Structure 1
């Protein structure tokens, strides 16, 4: 998810490069790219104008649509490390790799024994998973829930992958009653 923020020289520079990549490596305008990514059109505009800070998942998805790979992403991130430090929620490297794979996948198969797949989790359910697992400090839970929700944009893309999810749990055993019924 892109978060509104006052633009700075770094964020405008970051946005300008993303816009140039879109214009030179795709035949899409900002609205068409947003539709393909399953985003609101204002999200692309705000990111490209440096008015919104994209998450790393947003950037992985955006750069994938521009034909870029994880190595390009890592180089891009290094070149704009000051902008990333202030404006982009940090995502662990292994999750960034998963998001890149999901963005380029034509098919996704998932079998989960204990929980619902992260690509299908509601925010309430994801929060319950993080709280009950005990591996995450309380302050990071909202950020991690947002990252998980951002990944779901791959399911709204124009050319989204064919997906098959097997969920073993009969009844949700994670979260409070509203989270369980929402899931």
Structure 2
């Protein structure tokens, strides 16, 4: 989920670049991208105007929609590194890779023996899981939970992947 913030010159540059990518790499309007990503219709507009703080998952999903790969994402992140410090929740590389794979998947099969799969977790469950695992500092838990919730947008897309989840 993105968070509303006053726009700055740098956040507007970031938004302009995302809008240009959408316009040159797709034939979609902002509302169509939002629908395909399972986002609220205003989310694309606020991100493209530099008025929202996109999560790293949001950017992975957006850039994937524009046909970009993980290498492009990494380059994009480097070019906007200062904007990312202020506007982007930093995630471990493996979670970024998972989000990229989920964004392009047509089918997802998951087998979990101990926990509910991340794509099915509620915010409260994910929060408790982070605390129980004890592998992150308390201040990072809200951002990690939000990243998990952002990943679930693929389940709201009109062309969402076929999913099968097994929980033992």
> CA–CA distance in 2 between the matches of 1:153 and 1:121?
12
Give the alignment's Cα RMSD to 1 decimal. 0.7
Aligned equivalent of 2:40 = 40
The ranges of structure 1 where at least 4 consecutive aligned residues each deviate by more than 3 angstroms after the TM superposition are: none
In structure 2, distance between residues paired with 1:89 and 1:138:
15
Q: In structure 1, what is the Cα distance between the partners aligned to 2:145 and 2:24?
A: 33
CA distance in structure 2 between the aligned counterparts of 1:80 and 1:139, rounded to whole angstroms: 24
- The offset of 1:142, in angstroms, is 1.0
What residue in structure 1 maps to residue 155 of structure 2? 155
Q: Deviations over 1:23-47 (max 9, x none)?
A: 1111100000000000011100000
Q: 2: distance between equivalents of 1:136 and 1:90?
A: 13
| Partner residue in 2 for 1:113 | 113
CA distance in 1, matches of 2:106, 2:80: 30
Structure 1 position 48, deviation (Å): 0.2
Where in structure 2 are the equivalents of 1:164-179 lying within 5 Å? 164-168=164-168
**Whole-Å Cα distance in 2 between the matches of residues 36 and 158 of structure 1?**
6
1:12 aligned residue = 12
Structure 1 unaligned blocks of 5 or more: 169-183
Q: How much does 1:158 deviate?
A: 1.7
| Counterparts of residues 16-95 of structure 1 (less than 5 Å) | 16-95=16-95
**Structure 2 length-normalised TM:** 0.98
Q: Please give the alpha-carbon distance, in whole angstroms, between the structure 2 residues aligned to 1:91 and 1:136.
A: 12
Gaps of 5+ in 2: none
TM-score normalised over the length of structure 1: 0.90
State the 1:164 CA deviation: 0.2
Indicate the residue corresponding to 1:173 in structure 2. none
| Equivalent residue pairs, number | 168
Instruction: Give the SS at the match of 2:118.
Output: coil
Partner Cα separation in structure 1 for residue 60 and residue 79 of structure 2: 15
Distance 1:158 1:48 in 2: 22
The alignment partner of 1:57 has SS state of: helix
CA deviations over 1:121-159 (Å, ceiling 9, x no partner) = 000111111111111211211111111111100111121
